[in-house]
Amino acid sequence: MLIPLVLTVADEDKVYLVPIAQRIKKLGFNIYATQGTSRFLSKKGIANTMIKKLHEGRPNIADAIKNKELHLVINTPVGRESKYDDSYIRIMAIQHKIPYITSLAAAKASIEGIESVIKTKSSPKSIQDYHRRFQ
């Protein structure tokens, strides 16, 4: 089963997106992407499904979040022009307990963590768990 996630990335971040998106696909994620990000990924040969932003009609990202169709949101803020969409997506993700990542550095680190867990077949631990271990 493919794990669904959404990518909606600011234009200035797209140049850094390709290696991250390739790793995401290799891990078995099904990429949903907003229009600009979807076009960019398609041009780079990375399969994805386009999903609408809130102001573009329905079904959209908010619907997918409410329907539990997404398991991860990677959304690098665009600025004032998309402030409403970015804020609403973040609120929806938090309300529905869906991990929400706002930078490609954090996305890369998260993907590396997922790769490590898969490779070592280990379970992630909280910082508190590590702290208890050394008391």
Under DSSP, the state recorded for 123 is -
CA dihedral 38, 41, 69, 74 (to 10 degrees): -100
Q: What is the token pair recorded at 87?
A: 């804020």
| The overall pTM is greater than 0.75 | yes
How much is the average pLDDT of 107-132? 88
For residue range 12-66, what is the model confidence (pLDDT) as tens digits? 999 999 999 999 999 999 999 999 999 999 999 999 999 999 889 999 999 999 9
Give 94's Cβ-side CA count (13 Å radius). 7
Residue linked to tokens 């539990």: 68
Strand partners, 50: 33
Structure confidence at residue 79 (pLDDT): 66
Please give the Cα distance from 96 to 88 (Å, whole number): 12
For residue range 61-97, what is the model confidence (pLDDT) as tens digits? 999 999 999 999 999 987 665 666 778 889 999 999 9
In CATH, 3-133 is 3.40.50.1380: yes
Domain ranges of the chain: 3-133
